[in-house]
Chains A and B, each alone.
Chain A
Amino acid sequence: MPSESSQATTQASTTVARLLQEHGDVLWRFVLARTRSQTVAEDVVQETLLAALKAASTFSGQSTERTWLLGIANHKVSDHFRKTTRRGEQSIDADGADAGAFLASQRVFAENGHWRRSGLPAALDVKELAGGAGLRREELLAMLRACLDALPANLGEVVWLRDVMGIAPEEVCKQLGLSATNMWTRAHRARAALRNCIQERDADSIPSST
């Protein structure tokens, strides 16, 4: 007759196998999209599954299991960036958010807080907003991916969950352990930095209106 501990181990193993079976591909695609490296993605997926196993008792069931797993994976990816790349070594301000990338995006404002003439965002083509020509959209998506990659870890993790994966704000706060105010601040900084990054990379598509 199996001991209690071996029963628990078997149960846990079944859970990992099930998680891999049911969510493995989505988890893999998400982590690969964020890390762009199969080797790193493999490590992160493994760490995610193990962390999920440890935290299984704390899973409240308020979000879907997939959202919960994506939250853990997102956190593991950010940990990876903090440990291994310069993306994790940015200056952190009092809100716990990266200051550098955001500050660069704020140069469009004058000292009185209003737009500088040279910083005014250009009007957009409505047709482009509605979907646009395939090639143009693909170009923009490629630029956006590059800009997402360039975001500091603490801003990237918010925008990936909120805007890329479309997870509800309350759930993002819970997954990242942030207060609502802190999440709004980080989302604002990430979006401003992304907009600025695209503008810099694509001066023709979002030209200065002056």
Chain B
Amino acid sequence: MSYFRDVLQAMHAPCQQQTQLQSEALDRTLPTGVRHGLLLHNFRCKGCSAYVKHLRRLQTLCGLVGRQSIEQGEAMPPKIRERLQTLDAQRSQQ
């Protein structure tokens, strides 16, 4: 019974609430009924259907920003590395 209740609730929830659930779906596995309700809602709602795609693209692009920053970013300048090592050495002597 809770499956059908979840389907109906998710399907008829306002779009604003759908966007929260769609974001949550990126961070956790939603109950099956809720997932199916969202799919049915998106099937007939252009706005929410586009929003899901925007979210996925956003996450892909965020991942690219991360990869570019970490893989292609500049290494720690030797001057700064030296300073941090010196500070650490000074702290050890105190």
Contact = CB atoms under 8 A, between A and B. Distances in A.
Contact of B73 (A24, A33, A49, A120): A33
Contact of A49 (B13, B83, B84): B84
B5 interface: no
A187 B62 CA distance: 13
Interface stretch (A38-46, A71-79, A84-92): A38-46
A99 interface: no
B50 A42 contact: no
Contacts of A176: none
B16 A163 contact: no
Interface residues of A, number: 61
Interface residues of B, number: 50
Contacts of B69: 29-30, 32-33, 164
B50 A13 contact: no
A109 interface: yes
Contacts, number: 154
Contact of B16 (A29, A109, A169, A191): A109
A16 B88 contact: yes
Interface in A119-148: 119-124, 128-129, 137, 140-141, 144-145, 148
Interface string A156-190: 00010011111001000000000010011101100
A150 interface: no
Contacts of B58: 144, 163, 191, 194-195, 198
A113 B19 CA distance: 10
Contacts of B54: 121, 124, 195, 206
A128 B14 CA distance: 29
16 contacts: A20-B84, A24-B84, A28-B80, A30-B70, A33-B65, A113-B13, A115-B45, A115-B47, A121-B47, A121-B54, A129-B56, A129-B57, A144-B65, A184-B23, A184-B24, A184-B27
